[in-house]
Structure 1
Amino acid sequence: MTALVDHLVRRGLTSSSDVRVKSLTGGVSNDVVAVTAPGLDAVVKRALGRLRVAEEWLADPARLDTEGRALRLAGRLLPGAVPQVYDLADGYLVIERAPESWRTWKEDLLAGAVDVEVAARLGRALGGWQRGTAGDAAVAREFGDRTAFGQLRVDPFHRTVAQRHPDLADVVNHTIAVMEDSASCLAHGDYTPKNVLIDPDGDGVWVIDWEVAHYGDPTFDPAWTIGHLLLKTVHRPSADYAAAGGAFLEAWAADHDSAQLIRQTGCLLLARVDGKSPADYLTDAERHRTRALARRLLTDPPPHVLDAWELLA
């Protein structure tokens, strides 16, 4: 607490020691607090070296710098689609705080409330970020380091499920190889409902948590969104998550490698039951159903990723 206050004063973010700090949910990879002080209402993040999961999972805290730089780039390309970065220094990232009334899209989806316009906005935003950075050599250099992406995504998701499902190792490793060879635009790396903040009383939508941003495969982010909508379908079959998936992909409107998108989606689904960070809301029966769908997408893929909903019918 004292170190944080000293940092905020030293950086000129507040001139007072009258600082109120409230812990926020930072997922498994960060310490996150809300800070209120004279002239300041912000969120402050510090990256953890060891993540809060049952299995050992280490990651380089330098990813916080990547997140700050990615937020600044994303904000320049699409103003208002991400929180503003107030400061990035000495292991602290200080960003704009969302109003108290905002909530994550995940909360709505788990409750069965499916707003297809939110999905469409996320698709348009992703398409905008991808088109705005496609083939940009400067962005490729700035975000060419995939260390955090490997530590927080490829190793605990792809490589872990390849180890735990040896019969799928070839297709998973092929997915990794294509991903490594397909770097063509900025990728968020965790484009999922938990990282989307929405204004329940308006049209505000923020995409947060850019810590594994990198210059990468354009199918990775849409696969993560579609995959999480499929997980919600398994968990709550009565809600129309398929409509959100269709709206998202239509708004994304990007030429893409359809086979890679399907493989990436299959890898995500399998990782959320058998990887290092399983989805905590799935029951045993739902995990079994998710595993079966993932294996089908990886071994006998349908023509289009949206056909995955037909396989769940």
Structure 2
Amino acid sequence: MTALGCGLEEVWSALLHGRTGVDAVPSEHRLRNGDAAVVRDPPLSMTPVERQHLITRDTLAAAVRDAGLELTDARLRPVLGTSYGPHLDTVGVPALDRWAADAVRALGIPKAPLSVTTACSSGSDSLLVGVELIRSGAEDLCVCGGVDVLTPAKRLGHSALGTMSPTSLRAFDADNDGTILGEGAAFLVLESGRSARTRGARAHGFLVGTGSANDAVSPAAPDATGDSVVRAVSKALRGAARGVADVNVVNAHGSGTPANDAVESVSYRRLFGTGGQAPGAPTVFATKGAFGHTLGATGAIEAITVLLALRDRTVPPVHGLTTLRPDFPLPVPKSRPPRSPADSG
């Protein structure tokens, strides 16, 4: 569920056509930018708690249905991530995981959820938690992902931090000047190979390697050396028994802030070299110009875009990109989506 619509094919088609969900969103506060990317339903007139609940419930149910499962399946373990969710704008919250418990209870899922709150990596980290639960034998079946809703406090916070663009989100553009906030939700069902084969499940892909790292340099800014990015990618490749030459497509963070885009440029150069136009160089794409920066939902939404890019061997254009920053080492689509160099999914 995104500002571009709901469901795999609707959202993917909008991405491939270069559309954006960013638009003017009224605010009673003075912000650095009045634009944001919001889902069309439920409306912003609802409270943040109500919107987080409905977006979580509906997207979670859709993911379980897509996997050919029943919500009442006793094996299904929910792993739900968010950054702050509705909490920055809500008083009297008894527990920061109440939103997850309420959504799971409303759907009749028997197992209690695990709640992941690691800021903007929450959606990605929920997948890592699910993978480890399955690898350890603790679970056979997890539904993992992230949700975040736009709230006044988040918009004020990014205005105060100076991370919000005063113009528009232009990831990897030579004239980029910040990010734009968005909201949404995405969930993926992770299943052990044994369980999937037994029930004849349809697989969208295989998650074979994961990695994460924390540079501990600043509360908000990334490590300019790129060490943490290189470390996380290297862990994932080792876990998958693959090398950088096996990578065909990269979904970048692409937040549009000068600091982030500089770090990603350095990191990709260290990982893949400078042969951006050489045969076999991975294609990089980024989706925040279309979705806005969806905070804790980002990692799960972008994991799905990677699966769809591999399925169709096509990547969407980077919305807002006109002049690629000169130090970026890999090919990036600006307008028409090029064919991905991937030979297989």
In the superposition, the TM-score normalised over structure 1's length comes to 0.28
Structure of higher RCO (CA pairs closer than 8 Å, 6+ residues apart): 2
